Chains A and B, each alone.
Chain A
Amino acid sequence: GAGVSQSPSNKVTEKGKDVELRCDPISGHTALYWYRQSLGQGLEFLIYFQGNSAPDKSGLPSDRFSAERTGGSVSTLTIQRTQQEDSAVYLCASSFPSNTEAFFGQGTRLTVV
């Protein structure tokens, strides 16, 4: 597709379960970002991938969160042992060299019950 694609669009999971969120960036974009947005709040940076460089994980809130990017394209954000406070919209964005125009996906709404 032409834009950043995220799946699933909605995910409801039970507390304590693991979840995987997927992001398909725009083809050729070397930079990929993950953010999360809690209800009524701003965007919180989670992790950043740029080409083959080591990712910047400085925004990950705990060791239950991890992300990988395979082959410089698709990225998966994994949350282990989910907690209710993990409930949020998780947004992915991609761009050419960092800090040019970034294109965001529509997000995955995660609800932990």
Chain B
Amino acid sequence: QLQLQESGPGLVKPSETLSLTCTVSGGSINSSSYFWGWIRQPPGKGLEWIGSIYYSGGTYYTPSLKSRVTISVDTSKNQFSLKVSSVTAADTAVYYCARRLVRGPTIDYWGQGTLVTVSS
């Protein structure tokens, strides 16, 4: 059974960089059938797609966040990572890592989510 687990600091100061890692177990990140992505959900609000990465390194970011977001992959560790720079309180959210099918916006596996709070 595929499992995804987010890890990283739960508290980040304003203007600093938020960094999270997703570790994939029970399956390989080296697959041509999937994208590996990040989604966030501010407290009490809806889901927002952040972006995704292909195992070969190709990245796709939502336009509103593109200037501040970097997603990378480490196939040797079966991990992929998210960095969001110059964070503000508006970046406070539960961050989910997930697996998305290449052939459609179908997200079939999700991590449990991790709350990141931006505060001084």
The yes or no verdict on A and B being binding partners is: no
